[in-house]
Amino acid sequence: MVTQNLKKFDTPVFPFTAIVGQDEMKLALLLNVIDPKIGGVMIMGDRGTGKSTTIRAIADVLPEIEIVKDDPFNSHKSDLDLMGNEVKLAIQNNESINTEFIKIPMVDLPLGATEDRVCGTIDIEKALTEGIKAFEPGLLAKANRGLLYVDEVNLLDDHLVDILLDSAASGWNTVEREGISIRHPARFVLIGSGNPEEGELRPQLLDRFGMHAEIRTVKDPELRVKVVEERTSFDQTPINWIKKYEVQQQKLREQIVNAQERLYNVELDYELRIKISQVCSRLDVDGLRGDIVTNRAAKAHAAFMGLDKVTVSNIKEIIRLCLRHRLRKDPLETIDSGDKVSKIFAEVFELD
């Protein structure tokens, strides 16, 4: 009963559909929740531009998920790739499984987090004396089937960034201590944010983020006033604001669910795939990650727009997000704003 009462006092979240501007960041987040295999998003921008607000807002608008009750990994009741070992054993033994619906997990990774805090720990003493694998789950376990947000990711230790990217790409986290190994599902959307003034990520790590969104401080005075007024109004009467945007929030929620269901049937013509790879080749993008992510993001965008087939317009909307951070060869170079990507895209696709 205590936990149920506490839920009533959850901090109100600013509605996603009420956020003004920052379209690039919003689109990147939406596409990643439609297809988590895009590989996450890196959001770089000035301080105080609403990065954290927007990320918390996308988590709030997502539909609830069904998990196995009291399971530390938010295990799925039937998908083996999203299931912890204990749940798998229970299913094999035909045991009954209780489930519950929860909000999509949104895990904040603090800058000072240790590897044990992130990955989890194995109690060696318990394992040796009692002969059981005593595992204390970490943040990656909590984030399974949800979002993992790292603010100021450019200040995080490179080794930890590597671990996060590996888990996000493979969907699994493996912890090994003294010859004992534990593996559990860790399928999440990795969202990193940072301020370019405090340093960029190394190109090798940056390349492994599926998308890169840039946000800038709004220059238009009238729009700035509107943003400030809306935020002030929300802080004063959050419940009224949430009610005001309830219909739009529900409409977006349904659009996301429909896109997730439609995604696997979306087609991308061979000619368009060839042109995407031509753009990557002309931009001298290393490896094939750029081609793969662009293909995935184009399909996700088409699904979001309610289409069964990718159009040139879908590719145009997402290609800057997918490729701009892959052009940098020198760690001292700044990231291209995307103009170079747009120029080559227009040439290859023969647009005016």
Look at 199 and 75; give whichever has higher pLDDT. 75
87, part of any domain: no
Q: Give the DSSP per-residue string, 129-163.
A: HH-S--EEE-HHHHHTTSEEEEETGGGS-HHHHHH
71, part of any domain: no
Q: What would the mean pLDDT of 304-323 be, rounded to a whole number? A: 94
My answer on whether 21 and 157 are in the same domain is yes
pLDDT tens for each residue of 146-192: 999 998 888 888 888 888 888 888 889 988 877 778 888 999 999 99
Average confidence score pLDDT of the chain: 85
My answer on whether 141 and 42 are in the same domain is yes
10 band by pLDDT with thresholds 50, 70 and 90 = low
My answer on whether 182 and 323 are in the same domain is no
Within the chain, where are the H helices? 2-7, 23-34, 51-61, 85-92, 115-119, 124-130, 139-143, 158-170, 203-206, 221-236, 238-244, 246-262, 270-282, 289-304, 312-323, 339-348
126 alpha-carbon distance from chain centroid: 36
Residue 198 confidence (pLDDT): 76
Alpha carbons 328 and 300: distance in angstroms, whole number: 26
My answer on whether 207 and 268 are in the same domain is no
Q: Which of 145, 262, 289, 320 does the annotation list as catalytic?
A: 289
Residue 262 confidence (pLDDT): 95
Contact predicate 307/259, CB 8 Å: no
Q: How far apart are the first and last CA of the chain?
A: 63
Residue 95 confidence (pLDDT): 84
329 band by pLDDT with thresholds 50, 70 and 90 = low
4 band by pLDDT with thresholds 50, 70 and 90 = very low
Q: What is each CA distance from 323 to 169, 188, 207, 287, 295, in whole angstroms?
A: 18, 22, 9, 12, 12
Residue 5 confidence (pLDDT): 46
My answer on whether 53 and 152 are in the same domain is yes
Residue 183 confidence (pLDDT): 87
Count up the domains in the chain and report the number.
2
> Which one of 85-99, 196-210, 292-306, 327-341 scores highest in mean pLDDT?
292-306
Residue 7 confidence (pLDDT): 45
Residue 26's domain comprises 14-62+103-216
* 102 exposure class (CB count in 10 Å sphere: 0-12, 13-18, 19+): middle
339, part of any domain: yes
My answer on whether 21 and 156 are in the same domain is yes
Q: What is the CATH number of the domain that holds 159?
A: 3.40.50.300
Among 216, 250, 282, where does a domain finish?
Answer: 216
254, part of any domain: no
My answer on whether 166 and 277 are in the same domain is no
pLDDT tens for each residue of 253-283: 999 999 999 999 999 999 999 999 999 999 9
Statement: residue 6 has pLDDT above 70: no
My answer on whether 178 and 304 are in the same domain is no
Residue 268, Ramachandran bin (φ over 0: left; ψ between -120 and 50: alpha; else beta): beta
212 band by pLDDT with thresholds 50, 70 and 90 = very high
pLDDT tens for each residue of 122-155: 877 666 666 556 788 899 999 999 999 998 888 8
116, part of any domain: yes
Question: Is 224 in the active site?
Answer: no
**In the Cβ-directed half-sphere of 204, how many Cα atoms lie within 13 Å?**
5
24, part of any domain: yes
My answer on whether 284 and 194 are in the same domain is no
Among 160, 192, 216, where does a domain finish?
Answer: 216
45, part of any domain: yes
Q: What would the mean pLDDT of 86-99 be, rounded to a whole number? A: 85
3-state secondary structure of 97: coil
Whole-prediction pTM? 0.88
My answer on whether 27 and 132 are in the same domain is yes
3 band by pLDDT with thresholds 50, 70 and 90 = very low
188, part of any domain: yes
Among 159, 192, 216, where does a domain finish?
Answer: 216
Of 97, 99, 104, 34, nearest in space to 65 by CA: 104
Of 145, 75, 72, 136, nearest in space to 104 by CA: 145
My answer on whether 182 and 306 are in the same domain is no
My answer on whether 45 and 135 are in the same domain is yes
Q: What is the CATH number of the domain that holds 306?
A: 1.10.8.80
* 3 exposure class (CB count in 10 Å sphere: 0-12, 13-18, 19+): exposed
